[in-house]
Amino acid sequence: MNKKSTEVFVGLFVILGLLGLLFLALKAANLGSFAGNGNTYTLEARFDNIGGLKSRAPVRSAGVNVGRVTSVTLDAQTYQGVVTMEINQGVNFPKDSSAKIQTSGLLGDQYVGLEAGGDEKNLVAGDVIRQTQSAMVLENLIGQFLYNKAADGGETKSQ
């Protein structure tokens, strides 16, 4: 093998490595697909606290991805977080379904979890999910625990 062909192979190897890194970066940022598939409908939910929920976060039901969060905004009237989601067309939820913000693992990314209700009528494009549960913020839980321990004087109850 001469020097020129070796340089070509090294160049191709570097380009493939960079493409692999780009692919991993896009997957890690939930940007694997740049365009929506168009076969979705839009739902909205309002939360008192959205925690660290971001656009493009998954929407899951029973652990299965059924859509994506398209935007997270603040309602200037009620000061609630408004989450807009695109749900895959083939997945229908009853009108009394509930939404809650959950975390993947202990410190993982947050996502919207949908739980199906029992109503006979289904949600349609543009509907608002009324039953919501806000995110549990780890800092608030630790603060409550420390506050309760301080109020108890740090004592443990013996029997």
Q: Is residue 154 part of a domain?
A: no
Same domain, 65 and 129: yes
Q: Is residue 158 part of a domain?
A: no
* Token couple for 67: 């859509």
User: How much is the pLDDT for 147?
Assistant: 83
Q: Has residue 149 got a pLDDT over 90?
A: no
Same domain, 21 and 54: no
For 116-144, give one letter per residue: b (16+ CB within 10 A) or e: eeeeeeebeeebebeebbbbeeeeeeeee
Same domain, 54 and 17: no
Q: Which residues, including other chains, have CB under 8 Å from residue 11's CB and lie 6 or more apart? A: none
User: How much is the pLDDT for 31?
Assistant: 58
Of 24-38, 51-65, 91-105, 125-139, which range is least confident? 24-38
Q: Has residue 66 got a pLDDT over 90?
A: yes
User: How much is the pLDDT for 151?
Assistant: 81
Q: Is residue 156 part of a domain?
A: no
Share the mean pLDDT of the chain: 85
What is the DSSP code (8-state) at residue 108?
Answer: -
Domains: count for the chain: 2
Q: Is residue 149 part of a domain?
A: no
Same domain, 61 and 132: yes
Q: Has residue 32 got a pLDDT over 90?
A: no
Could you report the per-residue pLDDT of 83-106, keeping only the tens digit for each? 999 999 989 999 999 999 988 876
Q: Which residues, including other chains, have CB under 8 Å from residue 109's CB and lie 6 or more apart? A: 52, 57, 103
User: How much is the pLDDT for 144?
Assistant: 82
User: How much is the pLDDT for 73?
Assistant: 94
Which range marks the domain in which residue 76 is found? 40-144
Q: Is residue 4 part of a domain?
A: yes
Confidence bin at 157 (pLDDT 50/70/90): low
Same domain, 72 and 95: yes
pTM for the structure as a whole: 0.67
Same domain, 16 and 85: no
Same domain, 126 and 86: yes
